[in-house]
Every structure is written in structure tokens, then in C-alpha cells.
A and B are shown apart, each in its own frame.
Chain A
């Protein structure tokens, strides 16, 4: 019992909104609905929901690096693309037997993280910060997009995997869990839904623990005042690099899941529009809070898709309007603003009652 209490305590702290029995009860209800939801829905809709979930990881990566760490990375899609292509290349070469797709998932994410470690070392130890960090990361993702777009010729292949230039790679196997008798293939419906949901909950809780730990304290301290953080004896560059690598791994998870979900990946997933969208989800939700980021991303994605039915131009205009409204009304994010308002309201009510 006391173990459970101390576990919940580690999930809570000044870096995350939501605490106490009320919040965790609500969390449990949402989890129950999420678990039961495929029973009351059709495969297509469930698959579509998975698609939304897939993007939450890259949103969380931005939440971590930008919202908590204060470094605006414009190029999280670079890691998304590297991991996505990595998964495609590995699985097209080695297939899906013996649980290899899961190995490919881990390996592809590791490749993205390794690439981020190299890039991050160059940036943070070269003291590139602020707007320059945004420019460098954006340049990297656009460069990767351009590079992959010109790999149409047959000479561009890695093993038996053709890169296919602008059209991208396709027909890689979905994630497959080895099982005695028949392996479980996670097609983009109920199977993948539970896998991604589980991963999402795990990542969300792990990040809550991380951000409320002493490591998280240092990360927000660096956002607030890097000089002061250094003058408390923290090696600021090291903390920034670690955060950047974790963020890249999260973006990489999105990339792999996206590739496995649709069984394709194209260079445009690293292009300008793709790079800008996660920034909007995170800014609208509330970049400095994990829960706000998750909720904001899912709501904005769902709204975007609903509007696309009437034409994608409306949807893009809607995104623009949403961003402007956020900046004007709740610069820290609409979801975060609402949650803080609810928190204050609850506090006032309980004060009056007590």
C-alpha cells in the first residue's frame, strides 16, 4: 500500500498538472473507456484512432525539449523520418519472423537517438541556442527530406529495400508479436490499438516520473535561467543533450508506429508542413505540461480530420486561427489554461465549503 502511495507521489509534482485522488480517478475512468472503446467501434474507426495516438509521441518529444527544456526544435520530424525509414529498411530486409519487427522498432528508435546524440553534441556543446537551434534543426529535417526525395533510381537501395525517392517506401510488414503457434500481426485496427495505447500510457507515466524527478527540476531550471543553473553546478549542455536524445527517441517511436500503421513512409513526412504541425498541436495544448500536450494533440488532430471532410484548405485555415487564438487568449496553451482555471475553481469551491 505504501509502495503504491509512493509510486503515485513520484508521478506528481510542480512540473505536471493533475494530482490527488480526483485526478487519478478521472485518469482511471479515461483508461477504462479507452480499453473498452474497440468493443463498441468498427475496425476502421479504431485504426483511425491509432493514427491519432501515433502522433502523440512526437508531440510529447516537443513538449519535453521545448515546453520543459526551453529549446525550440523545429526538426523533430527528422528523427521521425530516420526511425520510420529505419524500420522500413530493416523489416524489408529481414522480414517479420521471430519477432524481428519488435527488434526493428527498438533498433530504428536507437538509430534516431544516436543521430540526435551526434547533432545535439554539435549544437549544445557548440552553444547553439535560441532561434539558431530552431534554424539548424529545421535545416536538418528539410535536408533529409530533399535527400530522400531524390532517391528514386534503382541505385538507391539498402539491401533489398528500395528507397523510391518521392514516392517513399511501402509494403513493410506491420508489427508482429511472436506467439507459439500463430504470431500475432498487429494490423492497423484493434491489435495495434492496444499495443500503441499501452506504449502511450507507459511513456506518459514514465515522463511524468522523469519530469518530477531531480532531473526534471534541472531541465526546467535551464529553461528559466541557464546561467543560474550552471552556477548551481549543473553541466547545462549535458542535461540539454540528454533531453534532446530522449525527445528524438520519442519522435522516433512516432515514426516507426506511423510506418508500421500505414505500411509506408515518404520524404514529405520530414517536410515543412509535417515539421510545423506538431508545433501547433503542442502550442495549442500547452507545451509545458504532459497531460495538456496529450489532450491538446488528440483534440486538434480529431478536429483537423473532421474539418478535412469539408476540404483540407478549411482545416489548415482552422489550424492557423487556432494558433492565433492560443497566442492571444492563452499563450501557455488552451488545454493547460483550462486545466489551471478548473484547478483554481476547485480550490476556491473547496475553500468556501471548508
Chain B
């Protein structure tokens, strides 16, 4: 059964048609990358999936249930989780407390502390745990938010540009982490501009352009597609 199904999702911002009848199906267990030029509507599509925006028309189905009318928190509780494009950590709180807030609905007491410690090690943020999250580097904030997102043990993880601001080594590590999570049964949908990352993890790729699904296939098919190259080149010329 498909885990996520988007049916003819339309969203307008005033006169701008940001997503245009987007159909997208995600199979349980896959790593799917969403690429496309700036302004293609990728982040907006995430917000439609999460219920932060509501589509003008179309449906969002998750695990067979139509969740189009559900509030965001209710969708999260059904097994969705997200790392936003702009890291949304709790800046004024310590790194440790950030993770505690993400983990506390699943764990209590000693078990909670142990779980936080484990995650801090996993993220490589042990020595930063007492710092305010606002003082972290951009890359560290990305890691922290990924950590918060995976704390919820989601069945579908949405990552909006997870490697922005990371070095190639860090990007590769992030890719390995995504693959590890996926091996544990997590389905992943990642928006990414870094093609090395896409090549590393993607099992299927969808290209979004001007709010429409432009192409879909394996990474090799997408790279070989001249039309895809053209829209990226077109952007490079612009």
C-alpha cells in the first residue's frame, strides 16, 4: 500500500498557482527526493502535506486515510514529521531541552534522560547540550532539528533541504543517517538541491517545476533527461 498519496493538489497564493494539480505517490519504505528550481513549489507542497496550508482543491491521503481536513498536530500524531527549510529550533532553550521537548511525549523520567543522551551522541552534539540552540552553527541547527524530527519515530519523515550549509563530508554523513533510518523502516521524502546527496540516497526522484510534476524516475533517468537539464539550465541563465 502507498504510504502517502497526493491527489490533484492545487494551491494559489493570490494570482500565483504554486502547486498545480500535483499527483504524487510514495510507497512505504522508499527514499524519495523532490527536486526542482527555486520557487518551484517544493516547500509549499510540504506545507500542504503537513496541513500548514490548505489546498484549494485536492486531497492528501496518509496510510489510506484522507487527512486533508486534519490539523497539523493531528497529522504529526499519525506518523508524519518534518525538518523545515529554515531550521525551526527553540532558539532560547538549551540543545538538551530542545530534544527533551521532542522526546517527552514518548518517554518519561530516567528513560527520557537516557534517550536524550543517546540522541545527543547520535547527533554529535554532546558538548553543545547546555548551549542555547540559537548559538549553534547553521549546520548544527540542521542536525538538531533533524534529531527532533526523528525523535517522534515517524513513519514518514519530510526533510526540506537537510544538508544546506553542510560541508561535503557532513552532507555524506547526513545521507548515511537517512539510509540508516530508512533501513529501520522509515519512509523519507527529501527536498534537496545537492545532487550528490540525491545520488547517494534517492531511490526515486520527482522533479517539480512551476508547481507541476515535471518528471519522475530513478536518479539516472532524471539526470539523463534533457528536459530536466533544460529547466535547470534555464534557471542558471536567468
Q: How far is the CA of A221 from the CA of B103 in the complex (A)?
A: 13
Contacts of A218 in B (CB 8 A): 101
**1/0 contact string of A231-248 vs chain B (CB within 8 Å):** 111111000000000000
Known A-B contacts A217-B101, A221-B101, A228-B88; A234 and B93 likewise in contact (beta carbons under 8 Å): no
Once the chains bind, are A14 and B104 in contact (CB under 8 Å)? Answer: no
Contact B52 A227, beta carbon cutoff 8 Å: yes
**With known contacts A14-B97, A217-B97, A232–B91 Cβ distance under 8 A:** no
Q: Does A220 contact B (CB under 8 A)?
A: yes
Interface string of B76-106 (1 = CB under 8 A from A): 1100011010001111111001001110110
- A contacts with B, residue count (CB < 8 A): 19
Contact with A along B132-176 (1 / 0, CB 8 A): 000000000000010010011000000000000000000000000
Q: Are B93 and A231 within 8 A (Cβ)?
A: no
Q: Is the CB of B82 within 8 A of A231?
A: yes
Rounded to whole angstroms, the CA-CA distance of A214 and B105 in the bound complex is: 8
B122 CB-CB contact with A under 8 Å: no
Tell yes or no: B12 within 8 A of A by CB: no
What residues on A are CB-neighbors of B101 within 8 Å? Answer: 217-218, 221, 229, 232
With A and B bound together, what is the CA distance between A196 and B189 in angstroms? 57
Beyond A217-B100, A217-B104, is A233–B76 a contact (Cβ under 8 Å)?
yes
> Contact at B73–A235, with CB atoms within 8 Å?
yes
Interface of chain B, main secondary structure: mixed
Q: How far is the CB of A231 from chain B (nearest CB, A)?
A: 6
Judge if B182 is at the interface, Cβ distance under 8 Å: no
Interface size on B, residues (CB 8 A): 27
Q: Across the interface, do B88 and A232 meet the contact criterion of CB distance under 8 Å?
A: no
B90 touches A224 (CB 8 A): yes
A42 interfacial contact with B, CB 8 Å? no
Tell me if B90 and A220 are in contact (CB < 8 A): yes
Shortest Cβ gap from B98 to chain A (Å): 8
Q: Does A225 contact B (CB under 8 A)?
A: yes
Q: What CA separation (Å) do A225 and B89 show in the bound complex?
A: 7
Q: What's the minimum C-beta distance from A214 to chain B, rounded to whole angstroms? A: 4
Minimal beta-carbon separation of A109 from chain B (angstroms) = 30
Which chain B residues in 179-238 approach chain A with CB under 8 Å? none
- Chain A residue numbers with a CB within 8 Å of B88 are 225, 227-228, 231
Chain A residues positioned under 8 Å from B53 (CB to CB): none
Contacting residues, chain B, for A233 (C-beta < 8 A) = 73, 76-77, 105, 152
Residue B71 CB within 8 A of the other chain = yes
Q: CA A223 – CA B50 in complex, angstroms? A: 21
Question: Which residue from chain B places its CB closest to the CB of A234 in the assembled complex?
Answer: B73
Q: Contact: B72 with A230, CB < 8 Å?
A: yes
**Looking at the complex, which one of A214, A220, A232 makes contact with B93 (CB distance below 8 Å)?**
A220
CB contact list, A185-241 vs B, under 8 A: 214, 217-218, 220-221, 223-225, 227-236
Residues of A within 8 A of B100 (CB): 217
Give, as a whole number of angstroms, the nearest-CB distance from B161 to chain A.
16
- B100 — nearest CB in chain A belongs to which residue? A217
Q: Tell me the nearest residue of chain B to A221, going by C-beta.
A: B101
The chain A residue sitting closest to B97, CB to CB, is: A14
A-B contacts, 29 of them at CB < 8 A, read: A14-B97, A217-B97, A217-B101, A221-B93, A221-B101, A223-B92, A224-B90, A224-B92, A225-B91, A227-B84, A228-B88, A228-B89, A228-B148, A230-B72, A231-B72, A231-B73, A231-B81, A231-B82, A231-B84, A231-B88, A232-B76, A232-B101, A232-B102, A232-B105, A232-B148, A232-B152, A233-B152, A234-B105, A235-B71
B binding-site residues for A, Cβ under 8 Å? 50, 52, 71-73, 76-77, 81-82, 84, 88-94, 97, 100-102, 104-105, 145, 148, 151-152
Query: Which A residues lie at the B interface, using CB under 8 A?
Result: 14, 214, 217-218, 220-221, 223-225, 227-236
